[in-house]
Every structure is written in C-alpha cells, then in structure tokens.
Chains A and B, each alone.
Chain A
Amino acid sequence: MDLTHSSHTHKESFITKYIFSTDHKMIAKQFMITGFTMGFIGIIMSVLFRLQLGWPGEKFLINELLLGSWANGGVIAPDKYLALVTMHGTIMVFFMLTAGLSGTFSNLLIPLQIGARDMASGFMNMLSYWIFFVSCIVMLVSLGVEGGAASAGWTIYPPLSALPEAIPGSGLGMTLWLISMALFITSSLIGSLNYIVTIINLRTKGMTFSRLPLTIWSFLVTAILGVLSFPVLLSAVLLLVFDRSFGTSFYLSDIFIGGQALERFGGSPILFEHLFWFLGHPEVYIVLLPSLGITSEIVSTMSRKPIFGYKFMVGSILAIGGLSFIVWGHHMFVTGMNPFLGAVFTITTLLIAIPSAIKVFNYLTTLWRGNIIFSPAMLFSIGLISTFITGGLTGLILGDATLDINVHDTYFVVGHFHIVMGLSAVFGTFAGVYHWFPKMFGKMMNNTWGQVHFWITIVTAYGVFFPMHFLGLAGVPRRYYTNSSFPMFDDFINLNEIISIFAILAFLGQLIFLFNFLYSIYKGKKASQNPWNSNTLEWTTPVEHIHGNWPNDIPEVHRWPYDYNKPGYEEFIPQNVPLKKGETDSGAH
C-alpha cells in the first residue's frame, strides 16, 4: 500500500468544528439532532389529529395552544386536519426516517466501520447537511403561510397539488412543499453519492466486501436506491411545477372548476402516480434497510454469536433492493390498471416475501441459544423483528391485487405501513442510538430508563396500529377528518378512542427517551472504549473524537466482523486482530 506519511497539525475554530464541520462524526450528530427534532414535531402532529379522530368535534385547549388559528375554539379545522396529516407523513418519511436515520448512521458508521479517515468528500457531506437543514426550514415555514401547509397527502397527487386554486393548502403551502422537497432530494443525492463512493473506494486494507459489517451493506444498498429513485421523483416534481405555474398539462385533463372546463387537456394524474411510486416504493426500503443493517449488527453482538447466514443476509438486502424497483404498481391497483399488469405487480411484490423471510429466519437463528444480553438496543432490535413479521404479513394481503382492492385507502393500509415501515424503522433508529450513543458522545445511556422506554413503546405502538387493521377491514377510509356522518362506523368510535389514548401514551413514552438522551450527554456514565465487546472497527477508535478517527495508522482488517464465541478462541475477536496460526477467517466460506 502506498504510505504517504505526512504529519499535519489541525486547528479548528468553533465554526468549523460545530457548524460548518466537514467531519463525518459531527455531521452525523447534526443530522441526528435535526432529524429527531423534525420527528418530534411530526409525532406531536399525529397526537393532535388523533385527538380529533378519537373524540371528533371535542374541544381541546392544547389544539388552540399549539395550532392557533388552525384550531379556533380548540377544534382542528377540517382543511387543517388534512394539512396536519400531510405534513406528519412527509416529515416522518423523509425528514426523520430518510435524512435523520441515514444521515446519522451512514455518516457516523461508514468511515468508522470501513476504516477511513472521513467521507470521500467532506465538503459535499457538509453541503448535504446544510441543504437538508434549509429544506427543513422551508417545510416548517410552510406551516405558517396563508391557506396553510400542503394538504394533498404525503403523496401529493394531482390535481390537488397541480392546481393552486384546488384547496387552501394547494397554494403557497404546496409551492413551499415542492421547493423544500427539491432541496431535500438534492441533499439526499449528494449524501448518497458520498456514501457509495466512500464504501467502494476508501475501505482499509483487508476490508473486502465479504468482511463488511451488515450495517455497511445496508447503507450501501440504501444509497444506491436513493441515487436511482430520487431523480425520478425530481422529474415528477419538475413536471408538477410546470403544471402549477407555467400552464402545461402533464397531469391535467378533463378538469372542471365551478362547472367551468379548464383549458387543460392531454395529461393524466395517473402518470404522476407512476413517477411518484417509482420513487415511493424504493423509498420505503430507503427507510427500512438501514434499520435492518443496524439491528443485524446488534443482534449478533448482543447474542454473542456470529450472524447466521451472512451471505444470505447480504444477498437478501441486494434482492430486496433490486425487487423494490419493479413493484411500484401495487400502490395503483385501483387506478384502472390492466388486470394482467396487476397480476405482474402482484407476483413481483410477493417475491419480496422470500428475501424478507430469509432475513427473519436468520435473525431468529442468530438469537437461538445465544447468550442474549437484553440491552435497550437489543430489545429494540427484537422489537424490529416482531414488527417486520407482523407488518410483513399484512403486506402479503395488500400486495395481492384481488385482496388489496377491498382495503385500499382504508385504515388497514395505515396500520400496515406504520408497523412495517414506521415502527420497524423507528425501532431500528432507537436501537442504533442506544448502541452507538457511547461512540457518539463518549457516555452511556441509562439502561433502566432504556428498558422502560422500550416496553412502553412496543406496547403502545401495537396499541395504536394493531386495531387500525380492524377499522380498515370494516371499511373506515383513511385521511378522513371524521366518520360521524357514516352511521355504520358508529360502532368504532370506542376503538378510535382507545387508539388515541395509546397514541398519547406512546408520545409520553418518548419523553422518557428524550430525557435519558439529554441527561446522558451531560451526566451519563463515562463510556469505555468498547462497551459492548464488539468486533467492528469503530470501537478501536479513541472515545474522544479526533479528526481523522485513528491517532495512528488505520487498522488493518484480518477477519469478518462476527467472530463471537468462535470455538477454541477468545469470546470475541475484533476485526483488526490477525488470524492465528492455522486459524481460518470464518467469513471466508
């Protein structure tokens, strides 16, 4: 290897260290703080509109307090309910679970786990964060404009999104949504480019692809999905902007406003759905895959056992990534699609069950007879396995055109995607935070409060989303402000109340996490260098962060990352420990 030994002293000012930092570890923290703040706003929104769903028309002081003119008299206005749902979905999917999750853990772990000084381009990395930051600000500002925030759902289907005069939220709110998302996409693309190139080019000596931790594999595939799918969303958004502001009609046809035909023809809103979901489905894996990687790592470490079927785990990440591009039609079964095409999308969708099941079995086999340490990170990882199964099973129903047609756009869908994507990704995020908190802040989080947080979260989360399936089966539609004018849904008012109570409790449970998090940063127990006795390279760096990660040479890698309880050897063997005489790399076969 080419050794360019050059000494180099590094001085940083406050600004370059904390604000315009190019150090991946600091950028990771920035993404985490920003993403989690957005997530917190998103969860508060969900609690507020759950109040309306649980007790329709009832006055709540908190609504008026937090929403002001959106909830005069303490009741959320119907159009503002739609704005809240739209912003909640947008914030959760993109800001919290795409940027917040990938931004945090890809940035933190890619250089540390592959053995690199930093990202391929620290400058682009910084740019990615700051563009994200601006896009957050624009999205939040849109909450305050006349007419209110975008209200067409997180999927912003035209014509609601294409005609500024359609509903109040279609005006300036929608324009800002589009600007914010264009920025977001730019940020995400820049970030993903960096992640991919770093993983491919800057691995340390000995870090072959078959020795990459599964976290890195999942971040790699996530970034590839982003590079392939976000540009398509950008193209969809661009055409939408033209329809809104420049008088084209890509998505518009046969529109009547007040009985008056609009002079727009030739377009089709279905075209938007195709373009949107070509991104949209890979997007759910962009949200999910990092959590699968994070939990694979944690499950192996905390069971003190090698991950079962490493190659199959990698293969199934790749298979899921590949398949995710040919299933988008399952969101469009009721658009009048040719039934033959529907059958094709049904088949491709159901195929995803195979790699998903492989992952589940490998998780369970890894746990089987392990010396399980039930740390909060491990509990949340097991929680993810649970939600991945329960949410995945309802995916089989929704993926089948003939069944989906019955429950499309009902609460069944809301229940499904919250469990399989929302909860799984959130659990993975929490697991990651508990596990790598010592790496990020040099302190330990409180274990007991972590356990309490987990149990409250899993119980209340299922309490919120499990009953939604029954609402959906009974036909209760999603995105409705109230169902009180449909007598057949009167029976469900109690159920809705229970869901809302669980939602409030779920929210309160998160305050425990917030407290534990903040408290531990300042007052937590000091972390040792390798608190979980883990094998991966990030634990060979000093507790205190330094620019360039390793004070001396970057460690060389000699083995795969899962040498836990290798028969005849130590309890755990970090990746940088050379093979003993006669020892073979367990990952090599």
Chain B
Amino acid sequence: MEHQLTYSTSFEENKKAHEPLLWIGLVSIIMFFAGLTSAVIVSSTSATWQLFSLPSSFLNSSIAIVLSSVTYQAGYVFLKKQQQSIAILLFAITLTLSLLFVYFQYAGLSNLYQQGIFATGSQSTTSSSYFYILTVLHIAHLFFGLISLLYVSIKTMLNKYNNNNYLGVKISLTYWHFLGILWVYLYVFLSVMMSK
C-alpha cells in the first residue's frame, strides 16, 4: 500500500531527540553504578571486609582520563572553528591518552594480582572482587566511548563535518566526559572504601 505524506513534523525531526536519549541513557548507567557502589557500602559493614593499598597506577590512569577529556573538548572547539587538522591531532592525543588509561588500569590490576589480591576464588575477598568488577565494568563502558571516538575521528578526516552538523561529536564528547567523571568518582569512592 502506498501513502502520500506531507510532513509538518517530519520523521527527520526525530533527530532532535538523540541528545536527550543520551542523557537519559546516562541516568540509567548512573543508577547501575549507584546500585553497585551502594552494594559496596552495605558489604563494607561486614566484619570480614578487607582493606588493601591501591597501586599508584590508578592515580596515573585517573590523570590520563581527565587529560583525555580536556583534549577531546579542545578538539571539538577546533573542529567547530573549521580547523580540522588541529582537531584530528587532538583526537589522536585523546585516543592515546585513553589507551594509556586502559594500560594503567591493567597494570594496576595485575599489580594487585601479584600481591595475592584476587578477583574471585576462595582467596578473594568481597572488597577485592568489587574492585576488579567495578574497574572492568568501567572499561566496558569506555569501550563504546572509544568506538565513538574513532568514528568521530574518521568522519573528521573524511571532512564530513560542516556547520551545524556536530550532533554526533557532541554526543560522543558528552559520553566521554561522563566516562571521566565516572572513573574519578569510582577512584575516590574505592580509595575511601578499600584502601589501607
């Protein structure tokens, strides 16, 4: 069957809903981590809750992710000024910093592992299990951020962004800042709850 439609509110206009979609999605991610960190608080009241010292690697990673937020934002600013090449450079730095972040997270966890602080198994404790799980879950969310960063970088290289068409970048950027804030929160929270 065929229909002729004149759109006074076109389907295309649904695009304006993309940014709110992200924000509400972020709310549900926040609730997810709120559930988990509340669980940490409840579990920490147990008599068997164990403290350990956090490897300095996690401080390095925190610095890396905060810096990456700054460089991504700067790249966005230059992109809007139509200075593609500087933007691409900044996106590349962002990418490097985020890979550095992942590396430091990995180094930190393996350091814990070498100290005999395990994620699972009979020698693990609830505090160490939480620590591993929260760290890895954050990286899992970062993974999608990385994909969107790559996507934005490639589109920039192909010169696909012109005026008024930055929605995709803005969404990716907002998510990226969110990831940074989320990690800083987790880092501070876990330090307070778990470190000696």
Binding site for B on A (CB under 8 A): 1-12, 115-118, 120-121, 124, 189, 193-194, 196-198, 200-202, 204, 227-236, 238-239, 242, 246-250, 253, 263-268, 270-271, 274-275, 278, 546-548, 551-554
Contact = CB atoms under 8 A, between A and B. Distances in A.
B17 A201 contact: yes
A248 B4 contact: no
B36 A120 contact: no
Contacts of A124: 21
A197 B7 contact: no
Contacts of B5: 7-8, 10, 546-548, 551
Interface string B30-45: 0111111011001100
A5 B126 CA distance: 60
Nearest to A189: B28
B120 A552 contact: no
A266 B4 contact: no
Contacts of A197: 17, 20-21, 24
B175 to A, nearest CB: 14
A265 B121 CA distance: 11
B126 A250 contact: yes
A5 B129 contact: no
Interface stretch (B8-16, B70-78, B104-112, B147-155): B8-16
B48 interface: yes
B3 interface: yes
Contacts of B46: 253, 266-268
Contact of B11 (A118, A227, A253, A263): A118
A547 B120 contact: no
Contacts of A231: 28-29, 31-32, 35
A198 B17 contact: yes
B39 A4 contact: no
A250 B24 contact: no
A553 B6 CA distance: 7
A201 to B, nearest CB: 5
13 contacts: A2-B13, A7-B6, A8-B7, A120-B21, A229-B31, A231-B32, A232-B34, A233-B35, A235-B33, A247-B120, A248-B133, A266-B48, A548-B5
Interface residues of B, number: 46
Given A248-B129, A547-B3, A552-B6, A121 B43 contact: no
A1 to B, nearest CB: 7
B43 A278 contact: no
Residue from B4, B5, B11, B13 whose CB has the most chain A CB atoms within 10 Å = B5
A357 to B, nearest CB: 30
A201 B17 CA distance: 6
A5 B6 contact: yes
A291 to B, nearest CB: 24
Given A193-B25, A275-B39, A121 B14 contact: yes
Given A228-B31, A264-B122, A266-B48, 18 more contacts: A3-B8, A4-B12, A6-B7, A7-B6, A9-B3, A193-B24, A197-B17, A197-B24, A227-B28, A239-B36, A242-B120, A248-B129, A250-B126, A267-B126, A268-B46, A271-B42, A546-B3, A554-B8
A5 B7 contact: yes
B6 A236 contact: no
Interface centre among A236, A267, A278, by most B CB within 10 Å? Answer: A267
Interface of B: 1-14, 16-17, 20-21, 24-25, 27-29, 31-36, 38-39, 42-43, 46, 48-49, 119-122, 124-126, 129-130, 133
Given A118-B14, A120-B17, A202-B9, A232 B2 contact: no
Nearest to A9: B2
A513 B119 CA distance: 54
Nearest to B10: A4
B27 A116 contact: no
A280 B122 CA distance: 31
A554 B11 CA distance: 12
Contacts of B8: 1, 3, 5, 553-554
Contacts of A266: 43, 46, 48-49, 125-126
A271 B28 CA distance: 20
B3 A248 contact: no
Nearest to B47: A266
Nearest to A262: B122
B20 A201 contact: yes
Given A201-B20, A227-B24, A7 B9 contact: no
A115 B9 CA distance: 9
Contact of A117 (B4, B7, B27, B28): B7
Nearest to A246: B120
A548 B11 contact: yes
A499 B191 CA distance: 57
B21 A121 contact: yes
A265 to B, nearest CB: 6
A389 B14 CA distance: 41
A250 B128 CA distance: 11
A7 B4 CA distance: 7
Nearest to B3: A546
Contacts of A229: 31
